[in-house]
Every structure is written in structure tokens, then in C-alpha cells.
Structure 1
């Protein structure tokens, strides 16, 4: 099965993460990336919450490639199990 793009779910201001999903065959895998990780990738500082969706879409390829690597390495967290990307994942 291939790991493919899912949906952009939105920005969670309480947790400072962008929520999105990936698809493993027919199963949706919940994913999140921290605001700090996206700013690190983008070379930005403190992107406003209103700009997070645009930032995610611009960085989507890099974000999804890293999510796929973590999935392949079975680095899942939480319940239900999903992928959480932090700035350390991009260093």
C-alpha cells in the first residue's frame, strides 16, 4: 500500500499544531505538526494562526515526506495512533 495525502484539518491554537491526515491504503492516519516545526522549515518566526493553512500548503511536500518516514519506521504516538512532527524531526 502507498502512503498518500489526506486532508488538512486545521490549526489547533490550544496545542499550537496543524492537524492533517495521511492515507495508508484505505485507513486514515491522524497527523500533527507543531507550529515551531513549520516555522523552522519555513525560516519564519511566529507565523500568525491565520497564516498557518497557507504555510502548511506551501510546505506540504516536505511535511508529508517526513510523516511517511516516521510511519514507515512505526514511530506512532497517541491513541488513536498517529504521527506527530516536531522541529527536531527536520534537523
Structure 2
């Protein structure tokens, strides 16, 4: 169960999330991160919607590392089952 990068899908402003995917071999795993979690990671002001993709790219390594941890721990939710990251997932 080793996850690798998938692709950026998009920003959903109405749901305040960024949707992306990761891959486990040939299986695509749906993922999402809240925009507030991304802002928390950068410790800066809220990013404008048109800059969310660039923010995701900057934070991609940290986001995907945490997603992989939740996947290993089988912390999947939703339908279809996927990984949802929130600010609390990045607090120690």
C-alpha cells in the first residue's frame, strides 16, 4: 500500500476544498484537503481562489505525505471511499 502522486483535479470554492488524487498501483484514490488546512500549513493570509492550484503545488509534498499516512491507517471516508484532510490532520 504505497501511494504515489496522482493529479490535481480542482478547487471547489463552494465546498472550500481542493480535490486531487493519489495512486495505489493501478487504483486511483480520491482525495480532498480543506482550503483552511492549506492556509494553516502556510501560516499566511487566506489565498484567493484563483491561486489555490499554485498553493497546492507548493504544499504538495506535505499534503501527500499526510494523505499517505491516513491511507496506511485506513482512515478513509465518504463514498467513494477516499482521503479527506483537514487542519487538525496537520497539528501536532
Secondary structure at the residue paired with 1:46?
Answer: coil
Alignment of 1:1-91 (within 5 A): 1-91=1-91
Instruction: State the Cα distance separating 1:2 from its structure 2 match.
Output: 2.3
**TM-score, normalised relative to structure 2:** 0.96
Describe the superposition over 1:36-73 as per-residue Cα deviations: whole angstroms up to 9, x where unpaired. 00000011221100110000000000000000000000
Structure 1 runs of 4+ with >4 Å offset: none
Q: Distance in 2 between matches of 1:22 and 1:61?
A: 12
**8 Å CA contact 2:5, 2:21 repeated in 1:** yes
Q: What residue ranges of structure 2 are gaps of 5+ in the alignment?
A: none
Aligned length: 91
C-alpha root-mean-square deviation of aligned residues, in Å? 0.7
Instruction: Give the SS at the match of 1:23.
Output: strand
* CA distance in structure 2 between the partners assigned to 1:36 and 1:19 by the alignment: 13
What SS does structure 1 have at the residue aligned with 2:8?
A: strand
* Deviation per residue, 1:18-47 (Å, 9 max, x gap): 000000111000000000000000112211
